[in-house]
Chain A
Amino acid sequence: MSSVQQVLPLESPIHAGGARRPRGYFHLQGSDTAWAIAFVIPYAAVFAAFIAYPVLFGLWLGSRPAIYPVLFSDPHYIDTVVNTLLFIGIGVNVKMFLAFLISGYFMRRDWWRRTLLVVFLLPWALPALSAFLSMHYMLVSQWGLLDTLWSTVTGTDGPLFLVSRSTAMASNIVAYIWKWLPFWTLIFLSARMAIPREIYEAAAIDGASALQQTVHVTFPLMANVYLVSTLLSTVWTLGDFPTVYFVTSGAPARSTNVLATYSFHQTFTYARPELGAAAMISALPLVIPVVILLIRRLHRSGVQL
């Protein structure tokens, strides 16, 4: 995701149930149509200049077929694709499942949980820049906070997280989960709150245990929100740049880059913008089906426009 969008889900479009359109509105006449068009023009202009044109320009940059053999034969690119799939596959799914569980924990509103929720939201409120910088310095050397903690607790030297590819990639994923877990927990928390309590009461009277209630009541009713959130998060995470850029910076030896950082380095560090654009375009076979599925789901589940 681009961190950009996950800022404030005060009222997320994900589960905004659409009120029905009132009937019997009257149609626009001459001058009113002109006004309506005039009202839309600023948005249309912004969209054309700063979304449509850059998208087309990016596609044009990566449109030369000869560039793709070069890209695919770059061993760093192969590493990058594997990393991106791990980052999205593990990061998004673990995050979503944890968010689902933790949102259940926060359903009870006693003072302690209220307080904890306030603290728990902190990673989401922090700018990604500050948070991931801090993570970087926790991991970067044997005197970082994590290694210090490790040696205090176990008495042995801690692992050097950024020296091996697997621990470095795991650090990226954990950092990513840390940053975005609160956001999705809030989404699931509000979805849980929308489930009528009577259903749980009925289930309890019928003798359903807590686990049974979760499996047979909560989960089916939240399945749609869960699916839409996972798909949305998958697309957003593909564009996630700050996590890897700051936490490991691709270390060790450019082996932990994801597509976003890889194409960034191709473009700006090695001055090969066409390779950078091609790397991003190579993700389209994954993105397009997810986006189509997502838009269908969103339309069906009541986001009407």
Chain B
Amino acid sequence: MTDRSTDAADMSHVADASDRTVRRGRAQRVAFGIAGAVFSVVLLIWTLLPVYNMLLIALDDEGDEFNGNLLPENPSLGSFRAVWNQDHWYLEHFWHQFGNSIFLGLATMVLTVIIGSLASFAIGRMRLRRGRLIGDVALLTYILPTSILIIPYTHIMHVYGLADSLWAVIAAYVAFATPYAILILHQYGKLLPMEFDECARIDGASPVQIYLRIYLPLMTPALAAVGVYALLLAWNDYHYQFMLLSTTRNMTVAAAIDQFFDSDEAPWNYMMAVALVYCLPPIAIYYGLRRFASFERMRS
């Protein structure tokens, strides 16, 4: 890695002519290399320290105190086993709650894709008059920080009869995810020639047929991206889950972890084990996705 250096040092050989500049360039390159290596190590420690801390606590068998060690003393998988077997009163419904989390994510994903694609089809392909307005509203909703709505939400969910219901959380996330979905689908839809729709129209296809047979199949990559966005939004947020869900059986994992946090005698190692397990699905999705839909390939 030391002989690699920045773009500029690499490029500067274009202009280099004399021997002395070459030698100076080499010294500079070594210096850049060392700086780069130090920087990489710092970045690595910076990134991994909190993750390591989770592991450290989760692998500790005694959950009620810190032992002040940098390495786990007698590392054990006991806390993960406890989570797996639901071996503590805080973990009683762990798998049920995990199922709730998955249901929440999938329902948000499906509804966001359906509602977002219908709206973006109407404003982008059918050229609904004043469709622009919907786009502006979506943009405004996307910009606003959604968490400021939490106070009214707890009230309106009572009005709607959705108190302590997963559907309340799903509705919230769908409302937050569709603006982004509409923006993205609209942008992507512009890349598809309108002639497809026009030909189908001339052949007598109805708008519903065009939507189902032409629009949806051609939009698959964008729909997938939007769907994953909605899924991760639902999984990675916890604010609405712990505010809107109150009974342990209706809770998701995210809401349940907050119970640990609120309690003084909750075993930290179990909590960290749950937190780690909860990280696995999004990590798998992010890194799985990077392989075939990474941003650099989307651009090329």
Chain A residues proximal to chain B, CB less than 8 Å: 1-5, 7-11, 13, 16, 18-19, 21-22, 25-28, 32-33, 35-37, 39-40, 42-44, 46-47, 49-51, 53-55, 57-58, 61, 102, 105, 107-108, 110, 112-113, 116, 118-131, 133-135, 137-138, 141-145, 147-149, 152, 178, 186, 189-190, 193-194, 200-201, 204-205, 207, 209-210, 213, 232, 235-242, 246, 260, 263-264, 267-268, 273, 276-277, 280, 291, 294-295, 298, 303, 305
**Contact status B54-A130, CB under 8 Å:** yes
The reply to whether the CB of B69 lies closer than 8 angstroms to some CB of chain A is yes
Chain B residues proximal to chain A, CB less than 8 Å: 1, 4, 6-9, 11-12, 14-15, 36, 39-40, 43-44, 46-54, 56-57, 65-70, 114-116, 118-119, 121-123, 126-129, 131-132, 134-156, 160, 171-176, 178, 180, 182-184, 186-188, 190-191, 193-194, 198, 206-208, 211, 222, 225, 228-229, 232-233, 235-239, 243, 254, 257-258, 261, 268, 271-272, 275-276, 278-279, 282-283, 286-287, 290, 293, 295-296, 298-299
Q: How many angstroms from the CA of A137 to the CA of B160 in the assembled complex?
A: 38
Minimum CB–CB distance for A63 against chain B, Å: 12
Name the B residues within 8 Å of A135 (CB-CB): 50, 53
**Contact status B46-A134, CB under 8 Å:** no
Minimum CB–CB distance for A147 against chain B, Å: 8
Q: How many angstroms from the CA of A106 to the CA of B6 in the assembled complex?
A: 10
**Chain A: CB-nearest residue to B194:** A22
**Contact status B146-A10, CB under 8 Å:** no
Name the B residues within 8 Å of A263 (CB-CB): 148, 151
The 18 listed contacts between A and B (C-beta, < 8 Å) are A4-B173, A11-B225, A47-B178, A55-B152, A110-B4, A113-B40, A118-B290, A125-B286, A149-B70, A178-B46, A178-B47, A201-B14, A204-B12, A209-B8, A235-B145, A267-B154, A280-B151, A303-B187
Minimum CB–CB distance for A68 against chain B, Å: 16
Q: How many angstroms from the CA of A151 to the CA of B123 in the assembled complex?
A: 61
Q: How many angstroms from the CA of A57 to the CA of B154 in the assembled complex?
A: 11
**Contact status B261-A133, CB under 8 Å:** yes
Minimum CB–CB distance for A150 against chain B, Å: 11
Contacts beyond the supplied A13-B142, A189-B295: 10 A-B pairs with Cβ under 8 Å: A8-B233, A11-B298, A32-B126, A36-B127, A118-B290, A119-B44, A129-B257, A134-B54, A190-B295, A242-B238
Q: How many angstroms from the CA of A164 to the CA of B144 in the assembled complex?
A: 32
Q: How many angstroms from the CA of A21 to the CA of B124 in the assembled complex?
A: 10
**Contact status B236-A127, CB under 8 Å:** yes
**Contact status B238-A54, CB under 8 Å:** no
State whether A133 and B118 are in contact (beta carbons under 8 Å apart), knowing that A28-B128, A46-B178, A236-B145 are contacts in the complex: no
Q: How many angstroms from the CA of A110 to the CA of B4 in the assembled complex?
A: 9
Minimum CB–CB distance for B175 against chain A, Å: 4
Minimum CB–CB distance for A283 against chain B, Å: 8
**Which residue in A125, A127, A207, A237 is a CB contact (below 8 Å) of B287?**
A125
Q: How many angstroms from the CA of A291 to the CA of B149 in the assembled complex?
A: 17
Q: How many angstroms from the CA of A123 to the CA of B43 in the assembled complex?
A: 12
**Which residue in B53, B173, B206, B278 is a CB contact (below 8 Å) of A129?**
B278
State whether A201 and B49 are in contact (beta carbons under 8 Å apart), knowing that A42-B119, A303-B139 are contacts in the complex: no
**Chain B: CB-nearest residue to A127:** B236
**Contact status B237-A3, CB under 8 Å:** yes
Residue of B135, B149, B156 most packed against chain A (CB within 10 A): B149
Q: How many angstroms from the CA of A149 to the CA of B222 in the assembled complex?
A: 45
**Contact status A200-B7, CB under 8 Å:** yes
Minimum CB–CB distance for A193 against chain B, Å: 7
Name the B residues within 8 Å of A273 (CB-CB): 151, 155
Minimum CB–CB distance for A33 against chain B, Å: 7
**Contact status B296-A305, CB under 8 Å:** no
Minimum CB–CB distance for B183 against chain A, Å: 5
Name the A residues within 8 Å of B222 (CB-CB): 11
Name the B residues within 8 Å of A267 (CB-CB): 151, 154
Minimum CB–CB distance for A187 against chain B, Å: 9
Name the A residues within 8 Å of B57 (CB-CB): 134, 137
Q: How many angstroms from the CA of A42 to the CA of B65 in the assembled complex?
A: 51
State whether A305 and B47 are in contact (beta carbons under 8 Å apart), knowing that A3-B237, A39-B126, A194-B299 are contacts in the complex: no
**Contact status B194-A13, CB under 8 Å:** no
Name the B residues within 8 Å of A193 (CB-CB): 296, 299
Name the A residues within 8 Å of B142 (CB-CB): 5, 13
**Contact status B235-A127, CB under 8 Å:** yes
Q: How many angstroms from the CA of A37 to the CA of B130 in the assembled complex?
A: 11
**Contact status B15-A294, CB under 8 Å:** no
Name the A residues within 8 Å of B171 (CB-CB): 46, 49-50
Name the A residues within 8 Å of B135 (CB-CB): 305
Q: How many angstroms from the CA of A267 to the CA of B127 in the assembled complex?
A: 44
**Contact status A27-B272, CB under 8 Å:** no
**Contact status B9-A210, CB under 8 Å:** yes
Minimum CB–CB distance for A172 against chain B, Å: 14
**Chain B: CB-nearest residue to A239:** B145
Q: How many angstroms from the CA of A164 to the CA of B49 in the assembled complex?
A: 23
**Which residue in B68, B147, B279, B293 is a CB contact (below 8 Å) of A2?**
B147
